[in-house]
Amino acid sequence: MRRRGLAAMLLIALALPACSGPDPAATVSSPDATEPSGPAATGGAPTSGPPTGEPTPTGDASPGALPAPVQRDPSPTATASPTTTPPATAVPAAVGHTDPGAVDVVVNKRRPLVPLDFAPADLRQPGVATATENALLRPDVAAAVEQMFTAAGDDGVGLVLVSGYRSFATQESTYASWVAQYGDAAGADTVSARPGYSEHQTGLAFDIGQADGACTLVLCFRDTPAGQWAAAHAADFGFILRYPLGFHEITGFSAESWHFRYVGRDVSLAMKAAGTQTLEEHFGLPAAPSY
């Protein structure tokens, strides 16, 4: 059973493209989300350790297809052509938490990155088990991920890094693939961020899975040992569960029990102590249910 689970995991990994939504020629993601559909591939156990060579800002990866998470239910109302990416909206009037290079940046459907094609100055792949060869993160985030994965392992829980940074270009193709999948932008917008509006583009966000591949990138991940451990302990390492169940009217996205975001321990622990579920609420920012 363990071999079959690991095989399924790499299967998924080979198919991932981009928050969400994946790109047929890139690695996986979240509202960001993963690639909409396609046959599963075959593969083996997750790899571990950092890759050789420096990351490129484009973030290209292996082609493939990832089944859409079953809990995602796009709106039936079409708002754009299947092949057209809707134009970006204006930068919101609200100020604060807009620096894309800061750990307190808030990116959502009403708070695009400035500039839209922002790319982190430095990225590296953490030395942890990964489902792809391109799970890049900012160095500070990668270090915190390594600490969290080590702690999970000490508690007998196996975590695997499913995806990390996604470039503007990767998110562009990821979003387009979701629009094609659902036939309109309204459906795609429930599961995938438009290019320039994805947390993955900051290098601060990542998706995780359980080492045996159980419930990868589907809502039932929250009920796995890995999902439960991460939800309980992520704050200790500076992470928050960015898209909790029942808060889509605030975050703008369906629940993603696998998508975590680095905010630093001051913020993560303050949110945990107060029982605050979203960054929007913590920083007193408007909800972002739509663009």
Count of CB atoms within 10 A of residue 140's CB? 15
What stretch of H or E contains 208? strand 205-210
- CA separation for the pair 164, 188 (Å, rounded): 20
Nearby residues of 204 by Cβ (< 8 Å), 6 or more positions away:
103, 105, 137, 138, 141, 261, 262, 263
Nearest to 20 by CA among 250, 213, 188: 188
- CA separation for the pair 70, 217 (Å, rounded): 9
- Whose tokens are 């321990």? That residue is 265
Contact (Cβ atoms closer than 8 angstroms) between residue 205 and residue 261: yes
Nearby residues of 167 by Cβ (< 8 Å), 6 or more positions away:
57, 58, 59, 119, 201
* Residue 199 a catalytic site member: no
Count of CB atoms within 10 A of residue 286's CB? 13
User: Among 172, 199, 256, 280, which one carries the catalytic annotation?
Assistant: 256
Active-site residue numbers? Answer: 256
